[in-house]
Amino acid sequence: MSFLGNAAIILAFLVAIYTIAAALMDSRKNKYGFPTNARFGVFAVAGLVTLAVAVLLISLLTHNFSLQYVADYSSRETPLLYLVTGLWAGNPGSLLFWGWIISLSGAILLWRSDKNNKELMPDALSIVMFTVTLFLVLIFIDSPFKALSPVPADGLGLKPVLQNVGMVFHPPLLLAGYALFTIPFALAMSALFNRKTDDVWVTTAKRWAVAAFLLLGLGNVLGMWWAYAELGWGGYWAWDPVENAGLMPWLLVTAFLHSGIMYVRRGMFKTWTFILAITAFWLTIFGAFLTRSDVKGSVHTFGQTPMTPVFIVFLVITLVGSVWLLLDRRKFIKSATGDDSLVSGTGTFVAVSLLLVISTVFIFIGTTLPVFTNIIPAKGYFNMVNLPLFLLIIALAGVCVLVGWKVPDLKQLGKKLLLPLGVGILVVVALIIGGVNRWYAVVPFFILAAVLVATFVKWSADVAARMRGKKENFAVAFGRLFMASRSRYGGYIIHIAIVVLALGIVGSSAYKTQVEKTLNVGDTITLNGYTLKYNGFDSSSAPQNDGSVWLTVVANMDITYNGKAVGSIHPSQVLGFTYSGQTITNMSLVSNKVAIRSNLARDFYVIFEDFDGTTNQGLVMVIVNPLVEWIWIGGVLLLIGGVVSFSAATRNLTTDDK
């Protein structure tokens, strides 16, 4: 297996180099406008990398411990599902998976090319193949097909923290989202190189950008859920450097989708759209660099690797080459003029896109300063600079829905705003009566309520207009309008999803309460109407293949809410240790499984932090997190809206898009 896997990677590298040369020579064009040999090369590279992935996956499933990677990330006791996730559990496997998705994307791009974008294909596919070679070189440096001798009887297996359903979805969604950013970048560079700056490249890139937006957005939300449910620190987003590496490209691709609409509809923001395509891709590679270097303060990093110089060279080449090409072709990028009013479709799109970029810049500065210098941003820096920006973006999105494309009559706009603002005020009054009086919660709730109502008002008005014009009932008008304008209403669903996500984030951030206490058996903790009774703990131990022992300690607790029994709850810890003679050494926390009781109003969240085996005492932290469930509901809505938008992006542009 080692020979077959390495051979597939070497052949893929050689074919990719040949494909780049053949495409750039641009000779012997066939009727599709692309060199025949280079076309075969793109598909051959995808096939060879697929073969390498298949070899590694089969090795994991068959317990082939002659491969170092298989021995490190699986064992005979590892469940089948987590044998599959072993494919992306380690640095070499994740890079192979990433490069595989890029190679498949290149093949699909070529397969789905048509007469409209055929001139872009040679150079676009050359850039895709160049990016694939980066990952193949990285795999050479740290290969998943490295042979192990002597062959062990069993592997080490996945750590408990990785044996979670989040491992099934979170990493591959993020990696696939990163990979898909390659296509808009390649199309942008090809358009610049060929001086073909009409809307063809944006139209082609849109479907890839929507898919990347969806995958990366879902990956981030699932990562939040995984951290919240598994890591045991009571939160879901820590502004960790590698978390930020997943957020920054997502913000930029969101800006790209907004500016791309203006590019196609109005011929505006052309230079800006090119810059966003370039920067979003560059940040995905930069994120990979962060993950595979000695990032300070990150729980995600694979640690320092010999790949750092390769990443730096690629990042420099990509940035310098892109900027040079953009500057050299600037005279071919002429944007049309638009209205100067901020209160218009053009104005709100500009503002939203600009604010997304400003937020990305602040996150980039805050992320890189402690990594590359000794400067640490002030406590709360990320929240202080980004939360107001995010709320302003959401508010502008609500205005954008109501404004439409033309400069509106301000009186008419005022009438449209009456209901959303009125509902927002009623929500504020209700919150204050209910005891929610912190301005940093009340103001966001007002904005979120107004934007949500504005979106439904506009959607309802569209349906009502069709009912009048087509003489259809509500259900028929709604269904036909939705199917005819999936791009628009998929966007509306995404806007609603972001509002719902923000609702959960604001509620849990502003009104989170917690208490920490050491408990004897029979002691209780009371918080926000909940009473937790501690009944001691049970423990068990299990030897591991690396010679260590894992001790699992499970706390037993009963919960009541306002005097009524709710049930029992069982947070736990897994500790790893080794023996030196008869003495326990190298004791460390392997995983900390929290226990959560959830409803739409709040989460009751319990962490078993420490214990005393002699006295049966336990150190317990209890947290009440309001509205957290709405974050995960927002994630589901994001999936629905993203799928709807992607279904629209995969067809030819309709009058709704133009």
pLDDT computed for residue 652 by the predictor: 46
Give the bridge partners for 306, in sequence order.
none
pLDDT computed for residue 360 by the predictor: 96
pLDDT computed for residue 439 by the predictor: 83
The angle at the Cα of 544, spanning 539 to 546, to the nearest 5 degrees, equals 145
Q: What percent of the chain has pLDDT over 70?
A: 92
pLDDT computed for residue 27 by the predictor: 47
Helix, strand counts (H, E) of the chain: 19, 10
Low-confidence winner among 35-39, 226-230, 279-283 (lowest mean pLDDT): 35-39
Contacts for 502 with CB less than 8 Å, ≥ 6 apart:
390, 391, 394, 444, 448, 634
Using CB atoms within 10 Å of the CB of residue 4, give its burial: 0 to 12 exposed, 13 to 18 middle, 19+ buried: middle
- For residue 657, name the pLDDT band (cuts at 50, 70, 90): very low
pLDDT computed for residue 186 by the predictor: 96
Q: CA-CA distance, 320 to 324, in Å (whole number)?
A: 6
- For residue 493, name the pLDDT band (cuts at 50, 70, 90): very high
Q: What percent of the chain has pLDDT over 90?
A: 62
pTM reported for the whole predicted model: 0.91
Give residue-wise pLDDT tens across range 416-445. 889 999 999 999 999 999 888 888 889 999
Q: CA-CA distance, 329 to 578, in Å (whole number)?
A: 63
pLDDT computed for residue 138 by the predictor: 93
The tokens for 9 are 């990677």
| φ, ψ of residue 343 in degrees (nearest 5) | -85, 75
- For residue 148, name the pLDDT band (cuts at 50, 70, 90): very high
> Is the separation of the CB atoms in 424 and 431 below 8 Å?
no
Give residue-wise pLDDT tens across range 87-105. 999 999 999 999 999 999 9
In Å, how far from its chain's centre is CA 586? 35
Give yes or no for residue 403 having a pLDDT over 90.
Answer: no
The angle at the Cα of 132, spanning 9 to 242, to the nearest 5 degrees, equals 110
| Residue environment code for 45-70, b if the CB has 16+ CB neighbours within 10 A, otherwise e | bbbbbbbbbebbbebbeebbbbbbbb
Going by the DSSP 8-state scheme, the letter that residue 653 receives in this structure is P
pLDDT computed for residue 139 by the predictor: 94
Mean pLDDT to the nearest integer, 341-350: 69
The tokens for 439 are 């301005």
Mean pLDDT to the nearest integer, 384-401: 90
Q: CA-CA distance, 627 to 383, in Å (whole number)?
A: 19
Q: CA-CA distance, 292 to 296, in Å (whole number)?
A: 12
Q: CA-CA distance, 608 to 144, in Å (whole number)?
A: 37
Give yes or no for residue 287 having a pLDDT over 60.
Answer: yes
Q: CA-CA distance, 532 to 351, in Å (whole number)?
A: 48
Give yes or no for residue 501 having a pLDDT over 80.
Answer: yes
State the sign of the Cα–Cα–Cα–Cα dihedral 58, 61, 65, 68.
Answer: positive
Q: CA-CA distance, 496 to 448, in Å (whole number)?
A: 9
Query: Peptide bond preceding 150: is omega within 30 degrees of 0, i.e. cis?
Result: yes
Q: Which residue bears the tokens 């000794």?
A: 374
Contacts for 449 with CB less than 8 Å, ≥ 6 apart:
420, 423, 424, 427
- For residue 231, name the pLDDT band (cuts at 50, 70, 90): confident
Pairing of strands 595-598, 583-593: unpaired
Mean pLDDT to the nearest integer, 320-337: 86
Give yes or no for residue 396 having a pLDDT over 60.
Answer: yes
The tokens for 314 are 């690629």
The better pLDDT of the pair 622, 336 is held by 622
Q: CA-CA distance, 184 to 191, in Å (whole number)?
A: 10
Give residue-wise pLDDT tens across range 539-555. 998 888 777 888 899 99
Give yes or no for residue 296 having a pLDDT over 70.
Answer: no
Q: CA-CA distance, 74 to 545, in Å (whole number)?
A: 11
Average of per-residue pLDDT values in the chain? 88
Q: CA-CA distance, 417 to 148, in Å (whole number)?
A: 68
Give yes or no for residue 44 having a pLDDT over 50.
Answer: yes
Concatenating the DSSP letter of every residue in 154-205 gives: S-----GGGSSHHHHHHHHHHHHHHHHTHHHHHHHHHHHHTT--SSHHHHHH
Query: First vs last Cα of the chain: how many Å apart?
Result: 52
Q: Identify the structural domains of the chain with CATH numbers, from first to last.
A: 1-163 (1.20.120), 513-630 (no CATH)
Give the bridge partners for 591, in sequence order.
574
- For residue 336, name the pLDDT band (cuts at 50, 70, 90): low
pLDDT computed for residue 408 by the predictor: 64
Determine the 3-state secondary structure of 419 from DSSP: helix
- For residue 176, name the pLDDT band (cuts at 50, 70, 90): very high
Give yes or no for residue 653 having a pLDDT over 70.
Answer: no
pLDDT computed for residue 297 by the predictor: 46
The better pLDDT of the pair 377, 326 is held by 326
- For residue 658, name the pLDDT band (cuts at 50, 70, 90): very low
pLDDT computed for residue 35 by the predictor: 66
> Is the separation of the CB atoms in 76 and 62 below 8 Å?
no
Pairing of strands 549-561, 564-569: antiparallel
Q: Which amino acid is at 36?
A: T
Give the bridge partners for 526, in sequence order.
531
Concatenating the DSSP letter of every residue in 326-379 gives: HHHTGGG--PPP----SSSHHHHHHHHHHHHHHHHHHHHHHHHHHHHSS--PPT
pLDDT computed for residue 654 by the predictor: 37
Determine the 3-state secondary structure of 541 from DSSP: strand
| φ, ψ of residue 238 in degrees (nearest 5) | -115, 10
Q: CA-CA distance, 397 to 254, in Å (whole number)?
A: 12
Give residue-wise pLDDT tens across range 252-267. 999 999 898 888 887 8
pLDDT computed for residue 409 by the predictor: 67
Q: CA-CA distance, 145 to 139, in Å (whole number)?
A: 9
Q: Which residue bears the tokens 């926390």?
A: 589
Mean pLDDT to the nearest integer, 620-642: 95
Q: CA-CA distance, 200 to 652, in Å (whole number)?
A: 11
State the sign of the Cα–Cα–Cα–Cα dihedral 598, 603, 606, 607.
Answer: positive
Q: Which amino acid is at 207?
A: R
Determine the 3-state secondary structure of 534 from DSSP: strand
- For residue 582, name the pLDDT band (cuts at 50, 70, 90): low
The tokens for 540 are 């068990």
Give yes or no for residue 655 having a pLDDT over 60.
Answer: no
Give yes or no for residue 212 having a pLDDT over 80.
Answer: yes
| φ, ψ of residue 595 in degrees (nearest 5) | -120, 135
Low-confidence winner among 114-123, 325-334, 363-372, 402-411 (lowest mean pLDDT): 402-411
pLDDT computed for residue 223 by the predictor: 93
Determine the 3-state secondary structure of 608 from DSSP: strand
- For residue 650, name the pLDDT band (cuts at 50, 70, 90): low
Strands (DSSP E) contained in 109-160 are none
In Å, how far from its chain's centre is CA 176? 10
